[in-house]
């Protein structure tokens, strides 16, 4: 509540100073909060059915409405294509969370298959990035079943998000070697890199308060020269740096770190927690190089997955059989006896 409230208040402050339009930020905050609240509620009542239904709904939206919202059709992987990647990634994460949450082996295999189908759907939609992110989430989910502690895994996920954000900043600032910078510029498209450079320039000029929310399109030379401008730099950290200054970037980082902290404290099994963390980290990476968080559907989905993974189910969940948490009682007794034999004085 404190982080979301600060994000909303700061957007109003920067808008009041520069005459910006904070409605987009306020809508994103509201969507995240609503999704998180719904996830906490459904995670209590339906810890398996709710993420399964969310995965199916996300897949259906991505296939039936690939553009997700009206607006200018920008060049892939910008705009709607990036939002589709984010939606499929969250859907794959929800399917994997449901797989770890169910005690029924047949249903678990069916949910693993659903996660694979979501990755295939990304390929059918022509999105290589969706295939990569969905497969990454699936592999992380499988590996999460053998993690003894969630802390190191969540720290590693935070490091991945920081690395992607830092790489985005380095590309925008021209801090990379020539060949690497050229390859990344070609892969990311020169238009997007030019937008990032405009955003970084605004952040340097107005580091304190930014230029005001919603004003990037008015001040960006690259956006003005585009035939179908949407007024966004297509990078969440750079957009907040340009429009809301350093404080806006710190608030975005605080929101992500709070999600990881909430996952660390969550009572759900470790595989569920780490799987949700992997999907949300993949979303953070997509948002760092695209425009995913500008779509309300994606914001709601991110909040919903975070809420499902941090909920407190009414009944105690059995640990998945592949997880170290699910050691049989005999194994635990054997370990206690072994420790007792090693320390007879105890």
Structure tokens at 83: 């939002």
If you write DSSP's letter for every residue of 306-329 in order, what string do you get? HHHHH---SSPPPPPTTSGGG--H
User: What's the mean pLDDT in 259-271?
Assistant: 94
Does residue 259 have a pLDDT over 50? Answer: yes
pLDDT at 67: 61
pLDDT at 334: 35
219 in Cβ contact with 202 (< 8 Å)? yes
Give the count of beta carbons closer than 10 Å to the beta carbon of residue 106.
8
Confidence class of residue 41 from pLDDT cuts 50, 70 and 90? very high
Q: So where are the chain's domains?
A: 2-342
Exposed e or buried b per residue across 59-96, where buried means at least 16 C-beta atoms within 10 angstroms of its C-beta: bebbeeeeebeeeeebebbbbbbbbbbbbbbbbbbbbb
Does residue 316 have a pLDDT over 50? Answer: yes
50 in Cβ contact with 42 (< 8 Å)? yes
Most confident range (mean pLDDT) of 8-22, 59-73, 269-283 is 269-283
CA dihedral of residues 142, 148, 150, 152 (deg, nearest 10): -100
User: Which residue has better confidence, 122 or 73?
Assistant: 122
Averaged confidence pLDDT in the chain: 86
User: What's the mean pLDDT in 52-70?
Assistant: 81
313 in Cβ contact with 101 (< 8 Å)? no
Chain segment 216-253, per-residue pLDDT in tens: 888 888 887 776 667 788 899 999 999 999 999 999 99
């Amino acid at each position: 509540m404190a982080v979301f409230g600060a994000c909303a208040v700061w957007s109003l402050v920067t808008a009041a100073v520069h005459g910006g339009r904070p409605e987009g930020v306020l809508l994103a905050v509201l969507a995240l909060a609503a999704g998180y609240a719904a996830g906490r509620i459904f995670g209590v009542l339906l810890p398996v059915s709710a993420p399964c239904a969310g995965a199916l709904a996300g897949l259906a939206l991505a296939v039936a409405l690939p553009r997700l919202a009206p607006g200018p059709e920008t060049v892939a992987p910008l705009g709607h294509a990036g939002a589709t990647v984010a939606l499929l990634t969250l859907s794959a994460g929800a399917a994997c969370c449901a797989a770890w949450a169910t005690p029924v082996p047949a249903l678990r295999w069916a949910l693993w298959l659903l996660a694979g189908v979501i990755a295939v759907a990304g390929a059918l939609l022509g999105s290589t990035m969706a295939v990569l992110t969905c497969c990454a989430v699936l592999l992380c989910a499988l590996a999460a079943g053998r993690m003894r502690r969630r802390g190191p895994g969540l720290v590693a996920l935070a490091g991945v998000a920081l690395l992607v954000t830092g790489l985005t900043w380095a590309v925008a600032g021209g801090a990379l070697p020539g060949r690497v910078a050229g390859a990344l510029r070609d892969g990311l498209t020169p238009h997007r890199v030019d937008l990032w450079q405009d955003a970084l320039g605004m952040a340097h000029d107005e580091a304190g308060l930014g230029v005001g929310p919603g004003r990037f399109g008015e001040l960006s030379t690259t956006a003005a020269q585009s035939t179908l401008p949407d007024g966004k730099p297509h990078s969440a950290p750079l957009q907040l740096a340009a429009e809301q200054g350093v404080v806006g970037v710190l608030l975005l980082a605080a929101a992500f770190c709070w999600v990881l902290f909430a996952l660390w404290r969550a009572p759900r099994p470790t595989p569920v927690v780490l799987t949700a963390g992997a999907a949300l980290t993949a979303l953070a990476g997509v948002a760092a190089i695209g425009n995913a968080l500008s779509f309300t559907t994606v914001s709601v989905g991110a909040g919903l997955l975070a809420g499902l993974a941090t909920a407190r189910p009414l009944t105690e969940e059995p640990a998945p059989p592949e997880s170290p948490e699910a050691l049989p009682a005999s194994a635990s007794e054997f370990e206690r006896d072994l420790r007792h034999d090693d320390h007879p004085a105890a």
